[in-house]
Structure 1
Amino acid sequence: MFELMLCSLLTIFPDYLFRRYVQGKRIGHEINLYTMWYELRWGISACLMLTISLITMIFYFHPSTSSVTAIFRTVTILPETVGRVDEVYVGINDKVAAGAPLFRLDDAQQKAAVETARRQIAQLEAEARVTETELATADGQIQEAQGALQVAIDEYEMKAQLLTRDAVARREVDRLANTIETRKGSLAAAVAKKETLAAKIKVLLPAQKASAEAALAQAQVELDKTLVRAGISGTVQQFTLRPGDVVNTMIRPAGILVPTQAGRGTLIAGFGQIEAQVIKRGMIAEATCIGRPFTIIPLVVTEVQDVIAAGQLRPTDQLIDVQQIARPGTLTVFLQPLFEGGLDKIPPGSSCIANAYTNNHDVLADPNIGTVRWVFLHVVDTVGLVHAMILRMQAMLLPVQTLVLSGH
Structure 2
Amino acid sequence: MLEFLLCSLVTILPDYLYRRYGQGKRIGREITLYSMWFELRRGITACLILTVSLITMIFYFHPSTTNASTAFRTVTILPETGGRVAEVYVSRFQKVKAGDPLFRLDSTAQEAALEVADKRVAEIDAQMTVSTTELAAADGQIQTAEATLQQAQDDLGRQLELQQRNASTVAQREIDRLRQLVEGNRGAVAAAVANKQSLQTKISTLLPAQKESAQAAAKQARVELDKTVVRAGVAGTVQQFTLRVGEVVNPLLRPAGVMVPENAGRTTLIAGFGQIEAQVIKPGMIAEATCIGKPFTIIPMVITDVQDVIASGQVRASDQLVDAQQLARQGTITAVLEPLYPGQLNGVPPGSNCIANAYSNNHDEIEAPETGTGRKIFLHAVDATGLVHAMILRIQAVLLPVQTLVLGGH
TM-score interval, smaller chain: over 0.9
Q: CA offsets per residue over residues 331-360 of structure 1, 9 Å max, x none?
A: 122222223321111111111001112223
Q: How far apart are residue 23 of structure 1 and its match?
A: 4.8
Q: Which moved more, 1:239-248 or 1:382-391?
A: 382-391
Within a 5 Å distance, the mapping from 1:114-153 to structure 2 comes to 114-153=114-153
Match 1:180 to one of 176, 179, 182: 182
SS in structure 1 at match of 2:215: helix
Q: Is 1:86 paired with 2:86? A: yes
The one-letter code of the counterpart of 2:256 is A
Aligned partner of 1:276 in structure 2 is 278
Cα distance in 1 between the residues matched to 2:374 and 2:148: 121
1:5 maps to what in 2?
A: 5
Amino acid at match of 1:65: T
Q: What does 1:5-404 correspond to in 2, within 5 Å? A: 5-23=5-23, 25-164=25-164, 165-366=167-368, 369-404=371-406
- The offset of 1:205, in angstroms, is 0.7
| Cα deviations by residue, 1:346-402 (Å, 9 ceiling, x for unpaired) | 111111001112223333344664332233222222222221111111111111111
Work out the CA distance in 1 between the residues paired with 2:379 and 2:196: 97
- What's the secondary structure of 2:86's corresponding residue? strand
How far apart are residue 253 of structure 1 and its match? 0.9
TM-score normalised to the size of structure 1? Answer: 0.94
Deviation at 1:26, TM superposition (A): 4.4
Separation in 2 of the partners of 1:371 and 1:193? Answer: 102
Question: Deviation of residue 303 (structure 1)?
Answer: 2.2
- C-alpha distance 331-161 of structure 1, shift in aligned 2 (>3 A): same
> Tell me, what secondary structure is at the counterpart of 1:128?
helix
Secondary structure of 2:295's counterpart equals strand
Secondary structure (helix, strand or coil) at the match of 1:87 reads: strand
Distance 2:35 2:211 in 1: 107
Which is further off, 224-233 or 303-312?
303-312
Q: Deviations over 1:22-57 (max 9, x none)?
A: 555544444433333334333322222111111101
Q: Distance in 1 between matches of 2:300 and 2:34?
A: 48
Deviations 1:222-266 (A, max 9, x none): 111111111111111111111111110001111111111111121
* Aligned residue type for 1:275: E
1-structure distance, mates of 2:271, 2:182: 99
Aligned residues: 408
Which amino acid in structure 2 is aligned with residue 212 of structure 1?
A: A
Distance 1:173 1:366, change over 3 A: closer
C-alpha separation between the residues in 1 aligned to 2:105 and 2:387?
61
Over 3 Å counting, the alpha-carbon distance change for 1:69 and 1:167 in structure 2 is: same
Q: Counterpart of 2:58 in structure 1: which amino acid?
A: I
- Report the CA distance between 1:220 and its aligned residue: 0.7
| TM-score, normalised relative to structure 2 | 0.93
Secondary structure (helix, strand or coil) at the match of 1:286 reads strand
CA distance in 2, matches of 1:159, 1:381: 124
Alpha-carbon distance in 2 for matches of 1:182, 1:378: 113
RMSD: 2.0
2:254 & 2:324 partners in 1: Cα distance? Answer: 37
Q: Summarize deviations over 1:153-195 as a string: whole Å, max 9, x none.
A: 2222322344452113222222222222222222222111111
Distance 1:77 1:404 in 2: 40
1:267 Cα offset (Å): 1.1
The amino acid across from 2:69 in the alignment is T
In the TM superposition, what is the alpha-carbon distance from 1:152 to its structure 2 partner?
1.7
Please give the alpha-carbon distance, in whole angstroms, between the structure 1 residues aligned to 2:365 and 2:149. Answer: 108
In structure 2, what is the Cα distance between the partners aligned to 1:240 and 1:156? Answer: 92
Are the structure 2 counterparts of residues 366 and 168 from structure 1 closer, same or farther at C-alpha, using a change threshold of 3 Å? Answer: closer
Structure 2 unmatched runs, 5+? none
Q: Deviation at 1:315?
A: 3.0
Tell me how far apart the structure 2 counterparts of residues 195 and 178 of structure 1 sit (CA, whole Å): 26
More displaced stretch, 336-345 vs 315-324: 315-324
Structure 2 counterpart of 1:349, one-letter code: G
- Point out the more displaced range, 264-273 or 11-20: 11-20
Post-superposition offset of 1:292? 0.7
Structure 1 unaligned blocks of 5 or more: none
Which has the higher mean CA deviation after the structures are superposed, 328-337 or 312-321? 312-321
Q: CA deviation at 1:21?
A: 4.5
